[in-house]
Amino acid sequence: MSFNALVVRKGDDGKTSAAVEQVELDQLPAGEVVVAVEYSTVNYKDGLCIGPGGGLVRDYPHVPGIDLAGTVESSEDDRYKPGDKVVLTGWRVGENRWGGYAQKARVKADHLVPLPDGLTTRQAMAVGTAGFTAMLAVMALEDHGLEPSKGEVLVTGAAGGVGSVATAILAKRGYQVAGVTGRPETADYLKDLGATKIVAREEINETVKRPLEAETWAGCVDAVGGAMLARVLGQMQYGASVAAVGLAGGAGLPATVIPFLLRGVNLLGIDSVMQPYDNRLRAWKRIAEDLPMDKLEAMVQPATLADLPKLGADILGGQVRGRVVVDTN
């Protein structure tokens, strides 16, 4: 029985190309659970895996898709039975294993979580790795003492996937949110999600000139890294924390250690891929509670498997607004 999948192939010239093809069940990787995939999504990493690979994909042909949500079709693991709704993010699925850009996926039971109460499979994919990571970042900041009374929270890469979800969650929890964007045309969108201030990317994207500036931000969810993160470190309030999530602006960190030494600033690393099961459940529960579903819907751009080659290029170019939901059927 064959089904549709987005297959990336690598030619003799080393170039990759992606197209929807028919795939057989026995081509899927080993695993205990077969999932009838209903929705997937597009994250920055998916852009890499649909396109040149970014060092993430070793073997071709490859089916990308780091996130999936759907219904269990068959299971050799006691934790899941046919008909269960499930979600998968991370664990390098869609990178070193075939992923969610298909109508069926065979996965390891350890990689699944049950669909959180209160969410549909479509909403879970509107959240996806980007939104799950945004929630992990907010949880880390709050675990380190952030609360709304402390002042404004900065979100960098605000109109992207991580940034949009972080903005909506923080606003719902009562924070003043300043969103950094390089796309001024997204200002109304960000304000609708709950941003109280828009900061132009150029204002904050310069190399550090002074290691310490005015103590401005009570916390930061940073999806950009690079020079912007370096600059933000010097603008944090005394004892405040930055959750480092992404590298959309670069993997380097041209900073000094002065903000750590003189202001007790914390740089918190956020990894969504290898998160332990218990913390995954905690984050998904918090998403269902703290992310307003009308705001989530406002972020969504619907897509099909056939749209993915273009969307992959768009997200690498910083051109996707909010979250893409891919209907695999």
User: Closer to ligand NDP at the Cβ: 23 or 170?
Assistant: 170
Q: What share of the chain is helix, strand, coil (3-state, %, to 5)?
A: 35, 30, 35
Among 16, 133, 235, 241, the residue binding ligand NDP under the rule CB under 6 A is 133
What mask, x for binding ligand NDP by CB under 6 A, covers residues 198 to 227?
---x---x-----------------xx---
Q: How far is Cα 90 from Cα 93, in angstroms, rounded to an integer?
A: 6
Segment 146-165, which members bind ligand NDP (CB under 6 A)? 157-163
Q: Is the dihedral of CA 84, 88, 94, 95 positive or negative?
A: negative
User: Could you tell me which residues are beta bridge partners of residue 49?
Assistant: none
Considering the complex, what minimum distance in angstroms separates the CB of residue 60 from ligand NDP? 22
Residue 235 contacts ligand NDP per CB under 6 A: no
Q: Round the CA-based radius of gyration of the chain to a whole number and report it.
A: 20
Q: How far is Cα 251 from Cα 249, in angstroms, rounded to an integer?
A: 7
Residue 45 contacts ligand NDP per CB under 6 A: yes
The stretch among 74-82, 176-184, 278-286, 289-297 that binds ligand NDP (CB under 6 A) is 176-184
User: Closer to ligand NDP at the Cβ: 150 or 183?
Assistant: 183
- Per the CB < 8 A criterion, the answer to whether 42 and 308 are in contact is yes
Residue 181 contacts ligand NDP per CB under 6 A: yes
The stretch among 24-32, 51-59, 76-84, 241-249 that binds ligand NDP (CB under 6 A) is 241-249
User: Could you tell me which residues are beta bridge partners of residue 37?
Assistant: 70
Q: Return the axis-axis angle of helices 121-143 and 277-290, rounded to nearest 10°.
A: 100
User: Could you tell me which residues are beta bridge partners of residue 5?
Assistant: 21, 102
Instruction: Give me the residues that bind ligand NDP (CB under 6 A), please.
Output: 43-45, 129-130, 133, 157-163, 181-183, 186, 201, 205, 223-224, 228, 245-249, 270-273, 315, 318, 320
